[in-house]
């Protein structure tokens, strides 16, 4: 109770919000696929064609829950994302804690970007490897840290962990330079692509694929609950990695499998991305228009630079950022405040999530209101 009281005192107490029917600038549904009727119908048709009548998996995948849709989906995912293998997890959180708690061993060293998602940090914390954070997107410092680790533990495997699009900043590391660094140092690179899938790549395969780097990383973590509009996640990598995770990733082993309808929805979403680029192209136009409007209203200096669907306006202090968020919501725009301790104190921000379905007028209006709030 003392911790709850402290949160309340700091104006940082979390509560579960209810939908208010506002214009969406907060969800991760970047392409609007969570509401896509065709995907909804196609998922049902997949189940009908397969003769699947089931509401649940009935058990873990190692017991009774590994229905035929899993195998089909993992083959489709490996092909779509250009990977040797894919292993589906129940969520991005499960995938990250499963991977990072199981793969790096006691004698290994893990370096992770200081702004890595909580699921990555939790997974590393559950594992036995030594771990160290490196300054956000600062590869020169990381290089020196790897060299020092090699001197201390010359026989250890070294893992480097980052995100292709950071969820709370919307920015990206220099992935080409990072790949080259890891190759030169003999380190295993792991990239979480949760907020890049559907947004980058010719069909939405992610930023690594767009840059032609998908074959030069040890593992990718992708999620389906953001731009793909459904639920679940997968670890992409080699066959050996998949076999290892099946045997040692506790978040995979000790949980009930996903219901067949969830698997069918992911299949339908992959099919949609394969044949339709309209949503992705419109999202890119909206991102560019948003950035133009930032410059037009002299707001760009207050935003963290981003080419992704996530754009963050720094507003210091929990009380102030919550007040500004409520002002935007009162005008009909759902823009959420990101409070400390979710982000470091002093780096509180308004988080704008852009979508293919946002109109230019909506973007104009919400930024006009923000500019008036600044004035």
Q: Is pLDDT above 90 for 2?
A: no
Rounded alpha-carbon distances, angstroms, from residue 84 to 78, 219, 306? 6, 10, 31
Q: What is the pLDDT of residue 48?
A: 96
Q: How many CA atoms lie within 13 A of 44 on its CB side?
A: 5
CATH of residue 164 = 3.40.640.10
Assigned domain for 15 exists = no
Assigned domain for 23 exists = no
46 and 168 share one domain: yes
Assigned domain for 66 exists = yes
| CA proximity to 236, closest of 257, 266, 251, 215 | 215
Picking from 246, 275, 304, the residue at the C-terminal end of a domain is: 275
215 and 285 share one domain: no
The answer for residues whose C-beta is within 8 angstroms of residue 314's C-beta and 6 or more apart is 302, 303, 304, 347, 348, 349
Assigned domain for 3 exists = no
Task: Give the pLDDT band (50/70/90) at residue 375.
Answer: confident
179 and 49 share one domain: yes
Taking only the tens place, the pLDDT of each residue in 62-71 is: 999 999 999 9
Distance CA 334, CA 320 (A): 17
Distance CA 242, CA 256 (A): 18
| Domain count within the chain | 2
Picking from 253, 275, 297, the residue at the C-terminal end of a domain is: 275
What are residue 317's DSSP bridge partners? none
DSSP letter for 257, please.
P
Q: Is pLDDT above 80 for 111?
A: yes
Three-class secondary structure of residue 284 per DSSP: helix
Task: Give the pLDDT band (50/70/90) at residue 116.
Answer: very high
Q: Is pLDDT above 80 for 12?
A: no
pTM: 0.94
What are residue 223's DSSP bridge partners? 233
248 and 363 share one domain: no
CATH of residue 314 = 3.90.1150.10
294 and 202 share one domain: no
Distance CA 303, CA 370 (A): 12
Residue span of the structural domain in which 227 resides: 37-275
Q: Is pLDDT above 80 for 54?
A: yes
Which of the pair, 215 or 19, is modelled with greater confidence?
Answer: 215
Q: What is the pLDDT of residue 252?
A: 98
């Amino acid at each position: 109770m003392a911790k709850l009281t402290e949160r309340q005192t700091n104006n940082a107490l979390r509560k579960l919000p209810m939908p208010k029917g506002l214009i969406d600038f907060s969800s991760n549904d970047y392409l609007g696929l969570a509401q896509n009727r065709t995907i909804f119908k196609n998922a049902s048709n997949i189940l009908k064609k397969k003769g699947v009548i089931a509401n649940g998996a009935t058990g873990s995948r190692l017991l009774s829950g590994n229905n035929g849709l899993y195998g089909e989906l993992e083959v489709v995912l490996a092909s779509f994302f250009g990977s040797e293998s894919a292993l589906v997890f129940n969520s991005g959180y499960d995938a990250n804690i499963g991977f990072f708690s199981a793969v790096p061993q006691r004698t290994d060293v893990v370096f992770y970007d200081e702004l890595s998602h909580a699921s990555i940090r939790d997974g590393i914390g559950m594992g036995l490897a030594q771990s160290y954070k490196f300054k956000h997107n600062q590869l020169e410092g990381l290089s020196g840290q790897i060299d020092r680790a090699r001197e201390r533990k010359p026989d250890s495997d070294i893992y480097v962990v980052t995100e292709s699009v950071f969820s709370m900043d919307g920015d990206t590391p220099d992935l080409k330079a990072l790949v080259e660094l890891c190759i030169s140092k003999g380190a295993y690179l792991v990239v979480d692509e949760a907020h890049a899938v559907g947004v980058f790549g010719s069909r939405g395969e992610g930023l690594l694929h767009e840059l032609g780097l998908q074959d030069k990383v040890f593992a990718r973590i992708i999620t389906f609950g953001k731009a793909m509009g459904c639920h679940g996640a997968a670890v992409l990598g080699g066959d050996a990695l998949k076999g290892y995770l099946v045997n040692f990733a506790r978040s995979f082993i000790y949980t009930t499998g996903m219901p067949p309808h969830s698997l069918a929805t992911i299949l339908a979403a992959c099919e949609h991305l394969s044949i339709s680029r309209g949503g992705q192209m419109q999202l890119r136009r909206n991102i560019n228009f948003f950035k133009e409007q930032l410059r037009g209203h002299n707001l760009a200096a207050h935003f963290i630079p981003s080419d992704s669907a996530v754009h963050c306006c720094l507003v210091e202090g929990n009380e102030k950022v919550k007040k500004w968020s409520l002002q935007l919501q009162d005008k009909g725009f759902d823009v959420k405040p990101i409070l400390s301790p979710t982000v470091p104190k002093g780096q509180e921000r308004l988080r704008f999530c852009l979508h293919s379905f946002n109109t230019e007028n909506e973007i104009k209006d919400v930024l006009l209101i923000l500019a008036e709030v600044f004035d």
